Amino acid sequence: MKKYVFVTGGVCSSLGKGVAAASLGNLLGSRGCRIAMVKIDPYLNVDAGTMSPYQHGEVYVTEDGAETDLDLGNYARFTNSELSRNNSITTGQIYQEVIKREREGRYLGRTVQVIPHITDEIKRRIILAGNDPAVKVVIIEVGGTVGDIESIPFLEAARQFINDVGRENTLFIHLTLIPEVAGKELKTKPTQHSVKELLEIGIQPDVLICRSPVKINKEMIKKIALFTNVKEDSIISAYDVNTTIYEIPLIFHSQGLDTIVIDKMKMDCRNPDLSGWKRMVETYNNSTETVTIGIVGKYINLNDSYKSVYESIFHGGIANKVKIKLVKIDAEDIENSSDISSFFKDIDGILIPGGFGQRGIKGMIQTASFARTNRIPCFGICLGMQIMVIEYARNVLNYPDADSTEFKPGTSAPVISLLEEQINVSNYGGTMRLGKSESVINKGTKLYDIYKSSSIFERHRHRYEVSNLYRDELAEEGLIISALTPDKSLVESVEWPDHPWGVGVQFHPEFQSTPINPHPLFSSFIKASKDYGKR
CA distance 472 to 453: 24
pLDDT in tens, 81-106: 999 999 999 999 999 999 999 999 99
What letters, b where the CB count within 10 A reaches 16 and e where it falls short, cover 410-427?
ebebbbbbbbeeeeeeee
pLDDT in tens, 348-365: 999 999 988 889 999 999
Same domain, 206 and 159: yes
Same domain, 222 and 320: no
pLDDT in tens, 133-175: 999 999 999 999 998 999 999 999 999 999 999 999 999 999 9
Same domain, 97 and 134: yes
Domain closes at, from 253, 279, 305: 279
Question: Cα dihedral angle (93, 99, 104, 109), rounded to 10 degrees?
Answer: 140
Same domain, 136 and 44: yes
pLDDT in tens, 280-300: 999 999 999 999 999 999 999
CA distance 172 to 163: 14
Residue 421: pLDDT band (50, 70, 90) is very low
Are residues 24 and 81 in contact, defined by beta-carbon separation less than 8 angstroms? no
Same domain, 36 and 182: yes
Does residue 534 have a pLDDT over 70? yes
Same domain, 246 and 352: no
Domain closes at, from 228, 253, 279: 279
Q: 329: Cβ–Cβ under 8 A, 6 or more apart, which residues?
A: 294, 295, 296, 297, 300, 343, 367
Average pLDDT over residues 212-237: 95
pLDDT in tens, 452-479: 999 999 999 998 999 999 999 999 999 9
For the chain, what is the domain count? 2
CATH number for 152:
3.40.50.300
With pLDDT > 70 as the criterion, what percentage of the chain qualifies? 98
Catalytic residue among 210, 378, 382, 462: 382
Does residue 419 have a pLDDT over 90? no
CATH number for 378:
3.40.50.880
Identify whether 510 is a catalytic site residue: yes
Q: What integer pLDDT is reported at residue 64 of this predicted model? A: 94
Does residue 424 have a pLDDT over 60? no
Domain closes at, from 234, 259, 279: 279
Closest CA to 179 of 303, 7, 10: 10
Identify whether 382 is a catalytic site residue: yes
Closest CA to 390 of 230, 376, 372, 16: 372
Catalytic residue among 141, 391, 406, 510: 510
Same domain, 440 and 512: yes
Same domain, 121 and 168: yes
Same domain, 193 and 315: no
Q: What integer pLDDT is reported at residue 425 of this predicted model? A: 46
Does residue 20 have a pLDDT over 90? yes
Same domain, 272 and 300: no
Does residue 423 have a pLDDT over 70? no
Same domain, 256 and 339: no
CA distance 485 to 455: 10
Q: What integer pLDDT is reported at residue 53 of this predicted model? A: 81
Domain encompassing residue 509: 288-534
Catalytic residue among 174, 253, 462, 508: 508
Average pLDDT over residues 49-69: 89
Does residue 422 have a pLDDT over 60? no
pLDDT in tens, 174-200: 999 999 888 888 999 999 999 999 999
Question: Cα dihedral angle (431, 433, 434, 436), rounded to 10 degrees?
Answer: 160
pTM metric for this prediction: 0.93
Q: Read off the amino acid at residue 209.
A: I
Same domain, 266 and 415: no
Q: What integer pLDDT is reported at residue 116 of this predicted model? A: 95
